[in-house]
A and B are shown apart, each in its own frame.
Chain A
Amino acid sequence: MRQLYRYHGGIHPTEHKLESSELPSKSAPLPSRLILPLHQHIGNGAKVEVQVGDKVLKGQMLASAQGMISAAIHAPTSGTVAAIEPHVVAHPSALDGLCIHLVPDGEDRWMAHAPLDFHSLAKRELLDSLRAAGIVGLGGATFPTHVKYSLTPEQRIQTLVINGAECEPWITTDDRLMREHAAGIVSGIRVLQHLSEPAEVLIGIEDNKPQAIAAMREACAGSDIEVMAVPTLYPSGGEKQLIRILTGKEVPSGDRPTSIGVACSNVATAYAIHRFVDHGEPLISRQVTVTGNVRTPQNLEVLIGTPLAEIVRLAEPLPDGTGYIIGGPMMGLHVDELDAPMVKATNCIIVKSAQLFPPAPPAMPCIRCTRCAEVCPADLQPQELHWFAKARDFGKAQEYHLFDCIECGSCAYVCPSHIPLVQYYRFAKSEIWQREQELQAAEIARERHEYRLFRIEREKQEKAERLAQKEKAVQAAKPAVATPLPVAAPADADPNDTLQMRVDADIARANMQLRIDAAVARAKEQAATAQPRNTEVLTPQQQAEIAEIEARRAKIREMASHAGADDEPPKQS
């Protein structure tokens, strides 16, 4: 038996898992409308690839990944793109995000798709196809999987950790998934194994899910994958916490697990990879728990983009609901109305009631009891962070490693003064991020301004040089007439000599006349050869382009001349 380790802190909230974990999961029926936010993952939002009115097939890419950290979004069913416009999304700001609205045609027709032989692909190609399949971490952070497994040659993965801990109360999606699709998860793990080439693979599952552990052990029997039962303790499902439990290694502050040779993915992510590799299906659906104040708490396989209200209706909510939680009770988002659609990160919807989730008691001043520090799984000093955030002393908060906080809510859970501690940390984090961005913008503005000053100075110098050179050229090119008329008076000349002065003036006048004549001649010459400047010197490539455009124009003109009869105007490529 492998040794397990402990991380600092942790709490034991009431589990509430049995409500939803005993019913087999069902597929939700096709919704009336699908709303797909473009920003469902960490990183850049996806780039729209369809137009309003387009007919799309199930699995067709609607928006492609943009930049390195991004993932594609696909049509969860066949239908018509009804609109591309902002819609409420599950975000604490309650602001709208740009979404693709899809009206299903009811046929649920797949586009052509085929399994992928990942062994024959280069790793880079496999990662790119994961990116195009929209596969992101489904444990909650939605970090694009292809980025996590883009390893540099120096990065060696010792341990691949598969996260089936599911420590947050009420949620049972991973539990049901492991019980029902253990073989699929294992085949997804094979792909991750191929990508990271670890020495060992460990699946961590909390010991409050004995059936899931049994199912996974059975699926992994005779293989090199080890299934480990870990003690039930919140937040063991945190990436850094689970790595600590299984390997004893601690991820350094501000670093990713790959820096210590560990890669960690959720079981649901492994299952999504299996659906893609073995069936060719991109990420268009996921399991979600609907529980709380409903008649039949259960797990559902739901298409991404389904309005959350429609999902809740399937579980028959009881009449005395007092709101909803999207996600778990510890880290989820509390909302009053369910207008938002389901996204890749949505793993649970809880209907609240006054009994199950009584309103938080009024917050009282901190009494410095440090119970929060005792339970903090990141080994921070939450009370200090709270004071710094409250006093807006962000530098100090960063010194106390604010950014190592995983916002698990353990500190707020045990706080005897019921202070909304996590809110303070989130406030401080977003303030620091904004400041960081402003500093960067200021740095860019400074550079641009300094470059502009440099450019103006350079242009001034160049102009002066050009003038000087022209002057010189004029002097040099001047015919012999100019030379016998030196401007400078002889050194021995008496400056008061009027004759000398008159001669000087004559010479100056003659010089001026010469210059004027030369300028007139130059202007005449220029006028004669005047042509638009930017067409003077052309590379053969540009000439070829022009010829091509001219040909196209001629073609269009020709088509237009006997159009009328043609039904469609010619399309320009």
Chain B
Amino acid sequence: MISALWVMVGISLLLGAVLGYSAIKFKVEGNPLVEKIDAVLPQTQCGQCGYPGCKPYAEAIAKGEADINRCPPGGEEGIRKLADLLGVEYKPFGEGAGPKAKAVAFIDENTCIGCTLCLQACPVDAIVGAAKQMHTIVASECTGCELCIAPCPVDCISMVPLPENIQTWKWPYPVYALTPAPLNQPEAESV
């Protein structure tokens, strides 16, 4: 009886020591959930969620401060992925907060006065320009966040929807009507 108790105590001490050691040795810095949530977000850094960028929004979700339906660029699928990841219910977008068609910013270079305000607003440094020099958008890097539109004093920035071309075209979901076969259908000739 006593020896059995000692064995149990010994095992518990040993396991406790192992657990304690690994808690120090394998400690994960930061919250890994934030990284996972951040990976799902579209990284437009648009701030439409009310947070200054995707990472802060991810942190807020991880802390349980923010809803998962605040990211219009991520689309419905983004919400579904977040719901999957966090094990919560899917939540539709609020009214008028749905996703928009993809677009990139365009600067009307005749109107631009070179004030650099949009340069400072761009979260991904996708605008090239200098003081009193004409600015232009690096379209390939533009995330379409629209943050540059508000600061422009001469309203020379507009959003141009991306046209569909052969490279971006996708095969449509096959849609066909399921119709009952005619009763006396002739044998279909094989080709």
Binding site for B on A (CB under 8 A): 13-14, 39, 89, 91-93, 95, 97, 169, 329, 356-358, 361-365, 418, 420, 423-424, 426-427, 429-431, 434, 438, 441-446, 448-449, 451-452, 455
Write the nearest CB–CB distance from B23 to chain A, whole angstroms. 30
Write the nearest CB–CB distance from B187 to chain A, whole angstroms. 11
Q: Report whether A449 and B191 are in contact in the complex, using a CB–CB cutoff of 8 Å.
A: no
Cα distance A256–B191 when bound, in Å? 32
Q: Report whether B174 and A423 are in contact in the complex, using a CB–CB cutoff of 8 Å.
A: yes
Write the nearest CB–CB distance from A213 to chain B, whole angstroms. 26
Given known A363-B176, A444-B141, A446-B54, contact A438–B42 (CB-CB < 8 A): yes
A-B contact pairs, 30 of them (CB 8 A): A13-B190, A14-B190, A39-B166, A91-B166, A92-B169, A95-B166, A169-B191, A329-B191, A356-B191, A361-B181, A362-B178, A363-B176, A363-B178, A418-B188, A420-B176, A423-B174, A427-B170, A427-B173, A430-B170, A434-B168, A441-B143, A443-B43, A445-B42, A445-B44, A445-B45, A445-B124, A449-B45, A449-B123, A449-B124, A452-B123
Q: Report whether A92 and B178 are in contact in the complex, using a CB–CB cutoff of 8 Å.
A: no
- 9 shortest A-B CB distances, which residue pairs? A442-B43, A93-B169, A445-B43, A448-B124, A423-B174, A426-B171, A430-B170, A427-B171, A446-B43
- A446 proximity list for chain B (CB < 8 A): 38, 43, 54
B110 at interface (Cβ–Cβ under 8 A)? no
B177 at interface (Cβ–Cβ under 8 A)? yes
Chain B CB within 10 A, most for which of A91, A430, A455? A430
Given known A445-B44, A446-B43, contact A424–B174 (CB-CB < 8 A): yes
Cα distance A93–B45 when bound, in Å? 32
Which of A95, A362, A449, A455 contacts B164, CB < 8 Å? A95
A-B contact count (CB 8 A): 91
- A424 proximity list for chain B (CB < 8 A): 174
Write the nearest CB–CB distance from B71 to chain A, whole angstroms. 12
B129 at interface (Cβ–Cβ under 8 A)? no
Write the nearest CB–CB distance from A503 to chain B, whole angstroms. 46
Q: Report whether A93 and B166 are in contact in the complex, using a CB–CB cutoff of 8 Å.
A: yes
Q: Report whether A357 and B178 are in contact in the complex, using a CB–CB cutoff of 8 Å.
A: no
* Nearest CB in chain B to that of A421: its residue: B174
Q: Report whether B179 and A362 are in contact in the complex, using a CB–CB cutoff of 8 Å.
A: yes
* Nearest CB in chain B to that of A418: its residue: B188
**Range for the number of chain B residues in contact with chain A:** 20 to 34
Cα distance A441–B166 when bound, in Å? 19
* Nearest CB in chain A to that of B52: its residue: A453
Q: Report whether A423 and B171 are in contact in the complex, using a CB–CB cutoff of 8 Å.
A: yes
* Nearest CB in chain A to that of B188: its residue: A361
* Nearest CB in chain B to that of A428: its residue: B171
Binding site for A on B (CB under 8 A): 38, 41-45, 53-54, 123-126, 141, 143, 164-166, 168-174, 176-179, 181, 185, 188-191
Cα distance A89–B171 when bound, in Å? 16
Cα distance A240–B171 when bound, in Å? 25
Cα distance A496–B115 when bound, in Å? 52
Cα distance A442–B41 when bound, in Å? 8
- A430 proximity list for chain B (CB < 8 A): 169-171
Cα distance A441–B143 when bound, in Å? 9
Q: Report whether A442 and B42 are in contact in the complex, using a CB–CB cutoff of 8 Å.
A: yes
Q: Report whether A358 and B188 are in contact in the complex, using a CB–CB cutoff of 8 Å.
A: yes
Q: Report whether B125 and A362 are in contact in the complex, using a CB–CB cutoff of 8 Å.
A: no
* Nearest CB in chain A to that of B126: its residue: A448
Write the nearest CB–CB distance from B47 to chain A, whole angstroms. 11
Cα distance A133–B44 when bound, in Å? 42
Cα distance A361–B41 when bound, in Å? 43
Given known A13-B191, A442-B43, contact A420–B141 (CB-CB < 8 A): no
Which of A89, A91, A449, A455 contacts B43, CB < 8 Å? A449
Write the nearest CB–CB distance from B101 to chain A, whole angstroms. 14
Cα distance A443–B41 when bound, in Å? 10
Chain A CB within 10 A, most for which of B45, B171, B173, B178? B171
- A426 proximity list for chain B (CB < 8 A): 171
Given known A89-B166, A93-B166, A364-B181, contact A14–B191 (CB-CB < 8 A): yes
- A362 proximity list for chain B (CB < 8 A): 176-179, 181
